[in-house]
Amino acid sequence: MKSKKQEYKELSDKDLKERLDAEQADLIQTKIYHTTTPLDNSGSIREKRRNIARIQTELRARELKKA
């Protein structure tokens, strides 16, 4: 089984940016839903934030590698 970090390394820049946009939109929706109706698993918000950070880290590493 691949870790998230390995999974993100295999994606292209375009795919990573699309995934980042999707994760950010999903995080916003989850937060809005959580304010009106508490989630069963509030840890999912934390996991989404961490995935966003992983993607941003990989994008930044690639940016520095090109420079």
Q: What digits encode the pLDDT tens for the residues 40-60?
A: 888 999 999 999 999 999 999
- Residue 51, domain member (yes or no): yes
Q: Which residue has the higher pLDDT, 54 or 3?
A: 54
* Residue 40 to residue 58: CA distance in whole angstroms: 30
Q: How confident is residue 15, by pLDDT bands cut at 50, 70 and 90?
A: very high
- Residue 31, domain member (yes or no): yes
- Residue 2, domain member (yes or no): no
Domain count, the chain: 1
Q: Does residue 10 register a pLDDT over 80?
A: yes
- Residue 3, domain member (yes or no): no
- Residue 56, domain member (yes or no): yes
Both structure tokens of 56: 């941003």
Position 27 scores a pLDDT of 96
- Residue 8, domain member (yes or no): no
- Residue 19, domain member (yes or no): yes
Domain that holds residue 18: 13-66
Cβ within 8 Å of residue 42, ≥6 positions away:
34
